[in-house]
Structure 1
Amino acid sequence: MSDRTPWRTRLTSALPATRESRIIAANALVGSTGTGMFLAGSALYFTRFAGLTHIQLGLGLAIAGIVGIATTVPMGRLADRFGPRNVLLFACVWRAVGYLAFLNVDGFTEFVITASLLYVVDRAGQPLNQALVGRLITGTERNRTMGFIRALRNVGFTVGFAVGGIALTAGTATGFRLLFVGNALSFLVIFVFLWLLPDVRAAAPATGGEGKEKPGGPVVPPLRDARFVAATAANGVLFLHDAILTVVLPLWIAEHTRSPIWMITVLVTANTVITVLAQVRVTRHIQDLDSATRATNHSAGLMSLACLAFAASGVADAPGWTVAALAAAVLLLTAGELLHSASSWEISFAMSPDAAQGRYLAFFNVGFSAAEIAGPAVVLWLLSTSGPLGWLVLAVAFPLAAALSWTGTRARPASAAEPSGSDTPTVANATGS
């Protein structure tokens, strides 16, 4: 029995520590599996069976993305008022209905309307989940939970894409529609899990005799918080690592290097495996705003080195040297990605006032969304016009972004600072068991 105890202890320590964090992590796995199924077949379904051209599909998604970005902060305000769990419950139903509604889309106008309505909650999903983590979990377990979420999302996307491959092989409309149904059902499963969580909200702000809030008056909107705006903009630039891995890397290898095409699969798989295995471990070293700022600087340096390696892969003559340069580039970029993800969670948590955590996290996510939408086009344009020199521009951009982030995260005056993890939540309705 004693021989088994260390093994059980190690297994327990490798899992999320609290009931709430385990439920939230399970939701990440379920949701990303459904989303992976949808993404695997959605483009082909809309162009083959819903009457859209490729240009209409891209334009429609861009319009929906803009709508989603514009409504992210208002959704965060709802989370501040009604609690992130309750808004997420509503969002789950909305998303389930929305993805089923896609099955009745016929033509561009119907697609834009449906996608735009769906993106109102789709784009808000990530900051709402982060706000839920911020309300339910404190201390080092908060960032550790975010690490589990990101790792399990990678697992879920991989599983979802694999399932979606079955529909792609069959090529029938029914097979594609089942992917949409599966995605919708995943949100109903998430709804059940969310219902098990307590409805925890921020404590009501104290007021003076004349109804004024103490001690600093009304919360400053995130757009008027210059430090937070700087941190948001900088982290949006640093988030370009996602565009490089998901969109730019395959095209760069295929069109600008002497590497064999199969290296795309090897490198993307390596990134996924490393993320799953290492993301939670990386969060252990980021426990406050100072350590998050240092991690941001280190991540920018690693991503700059990755850009130099990518540039080298484009000028190497021998396939062996090209493969070595690409492998080094992806390993460096992955390390920078892990550090940046963990540091961005701590920065956004630490700089968000308790009473306005939902809207601040939503605003911070706007930087990520903008990079996700515009990043691939910007980086591809840069590389198509400049070739390997374009990587040198990115190699400079990342440290500049880290410097901008530092202007926001450097020490504040004591009267303006709010300690990280100092949330004092109150249980409004303990619906969970």
Structure 2
Amino acid sequence: MAEPVPGSAGVRRRLAFGAAVDSFGTGLLLSTSAVYFVAVIGFGVREVGLVMSVAGVAGLLGPVPVGRLADRLGLRRVYCGALLLRGAGYLGYAFVTDFRVFVVATCLLRMLDQSTPPLQQSLVGALAEGGERVRTMALVRSVRNTALSAGFLVAGLALAAHTRPAMMAMLIGNGLSFFVLAAVIASLPIPAPASIASAATAPGGSVPGGSAPAGTAADGSDRSDAGPALERSGPPLRHRRFVLLTVSNGLLLLHDSVLFVLLPVWIVTRTSLPAATVAGLLAVNTVLTVLLQLLFSRSERLTHRPGAVLLAAAGFLVAACAVFPAAAKLSGGWAVAGCAAAVALLTVGENLHAVAGWQLSFDLAPADRRTEYMAVFNLGLGLQNVVGPALMTSVVLGAGPGGWLLLATLFAGSALACRAAGTVRASLPVSQGGISHG
């Protein structure tokens, strides 16, 4: 069988298969890990939440050095190495019973987890170009969401059994998924950096195999020497409005911690519902996200008025915070319906926020330093990973209905701050890095 070439349908199919296996394993892990270490191993809820927050800090330390290592040793070698380490780590994670080992393992695994997404983005950039790169990423995202939902549903069987072997099998399954993905990455025809560089200097500046033209990075961003143009705008950390946008957007991202940290433990400790309900609710989130992505991708209005969309997102998130505690007072099928409604509201808010937050950050970032500004903006996710788990388990869960009220207030205030930071964009002259829509 002929070896697929970069940008071919065969490469896309391999990427999609690898993404599916990876996300299926992630679904197994996210549905069961918190319940496993709290309800089966016996670690305290607050202790587990604190460890997850500490691990979030550790996760910020991984991407930059791993990226530099990939530049030196090669993308394929470092990516496969990181995946093999993740696989071995999660296999061992299933057998952890000592809390100190749990702390160390969780931090190291989070560092590896946070290091691989940039490698995946570089991989797609090396294997596809232009519109093909966009279509490839869309395919990967779609497959990931579908496989994640399948992982949630399978994990529901383990949660229903509520036995240690069943839940251990979920963690082991996640570990095995990384070995499969590593095999897929090893089989891909990734262009060597040397060949890309030499091709970029060829007449016409094009790079065979889907690589970017000279002066352009593999992800399509301009990496040429911009000279004096870079001096027209300051660094992102000196841009107070952009820093405000980054921080407030990171607080809005707490909806991720609500879904993956608070919801599973809340179902087990604050409602009469069986633990298997968690997997079904996460599946609702994933399936609805796929549908919303298809809907939002066809609507240009969402990108024209990001401030209004952001306020709408906050409205849905606040409504979810009201429905969750109300559902806890119900029983049986009504409780399941109430929780499903709350998750649906959370999901709509989450997806509206994703569209509006990115658009505001794109508009506010000066054109001549946009890549640098986007990197800083993504630190908001790190903020959520640090603050979220401990906030959910120690404050929101412990305060009962008052905790949900606090969370709703935080969502509303963060949305208003995001909107205030982003709307200054229209008043900036072009010489300060301002750009117009379109």
TM, length-normalised to structure 2: 0.68
Pairing 1:126–2:117 present? yes
Aligned-pair CA distance for 1:395: 1.9
Pairing 1:401–2:414 present? yes
Mapping 1:194-343, distance limit 5 Å: 195=190, 198-200=210-212, 201=217, 202-206=221-225, 213-217=227-231, 220-257=234-271, 263-285=277-299, 290-314=304-328, 316=329, 322-343=335-356
Task: State how far apart, in whole Å, the 1-side matches of 2:429 and 2:175 are.
Answer: 50
CA contact 1:30–1:190 (8 Å) conserved in 2 = no
Tell me the alpha carbon deviations over residues 231-271 of structure 1, each in whole angstroms, 9 at most, x when there is no partner.
22122211122222223224434444566766544433322
Residue in 1 that maps onto 2:201: none
Task: State how far apart, in whole Å, the 1-side matches of 2:367 and 2:66 are.
Answer: 16
CA contact 2:31–2:279 (8 Å) conserved in 1 = no
Aligned-pair CA distance for 1:120: 3.9
Residue in 2 that maps onto 1:426: none
Residue in 1 that maps onto 2:180: 185
User: Given the alignment, which residue of 17, 27, 31 partners 2:22?
Assistant: 31
Aligned-pair CA distance for 1:378: 0.8
Q: Which residue identity is paired with 2:350? A: E
Tell me the alpha carbon deviations over residues 326-345 of structure 1, each in whole angstroms, 9 at most, x when there is no partner.
34322211111121223344
Task: State how far apart, in whole Å, the 1-side matches of 2:9 and 2:369 are.
Answer: 25
Query: For residues 75 and 339 of structure 1, do their structure 2 counterparts lie closer, same or farther at Cα, with a shift above 3 Å needed?
Result: farther
Task: State how far apart, in whole Å, the 2-side matches of 1:150 and 1:205 are.
Answer: 29
CA contact 1:237–1:371 (8 Å) conserved in 2 = yes
Root-mean-square deviation over aligned CA pairs: 4.9
User: Given the alignment, which residue of 56, 61, 65 partners 1:65?
Assistant: 56
Q: Which residue identity is paired with 2:395? A: L
CA contact 2:32–2:167 (8 Å) conserved in 1 = no
Aligned-pair CA distance for 1:294: 3.2
- Number of residue equivalences: 393
CA contact 2:313–2:350 (8 Å) conserved in 1 = yes
Task: State how far apart, in whole Å, the 2-side matches of 1:255 and 1:46 are.
Answer: 14
Task: State how far apart, in whole Å, the 2-side matches of 1:173 and 1:257 are.
Answer: 24
Mapping 1:47-196, distance limit 5 Å: 54=43, 63-72=54-63, 78=68, 87=75, 90-100=78-88, 119-127=110-118, 129=120, 142=134, 148-160=139-151, 180-193=175-188, 195=190
User: Given the alignment, which residue of 393, 397, 403 partners 1:390?
Assistant: 403
Tell me the alpha carbon deviations over residues 377-421 of structure 1, each in whole angstroms, 9 at most, x when there is no partner.
213333344321222222222121112212332224322336599
Does 56-65 or 87-96 show the bigger shift?
Answer: 56-65
Q: Could you list the runs of 5+ residues in structure 2 that have no partner in the other structure?
A: 1-7, 192-208
Task: State how far apart, in whole Å, the 1-side matches of 2:436 and 2:131 are.
Answer: 8
Q: Which residue identity is paired with 1:187? A: A
Task: State how far apart, in whole Å, the 2-side matches of 1:89 and 1:283 are.
Answer: 35
Task: State how far apart, in whole Å, the 2-side matches of 1:418 and 1:89 are.
Answer: 40
Task: State how far apart, in whole Å, the 1-side matches of 2:384 and 2:118 are.
Answer: 15
Task: State how far apart, in whole Å, the 2-side matches of 1:138 and 1:364 are.
Answer: 24
CA contact 1:64–1:115 (8 Å) conserved in 2 = yes
Q: Which residue identity is paired with 1:415? A: S
Task: State how far apart, in whole Å, the 2-side matches of 1:351 and 1:87 are.
Answer: 32
Tell me the alpha carbon deviations over residues 29-65 of structure 1, each in whole angstroms, 9 at most, x when there is no partner.
2432344456678789999xxxx98479877765543
Aligned-pair CA distance for 1:198: 3.5
Identity within the alignment, %: 32
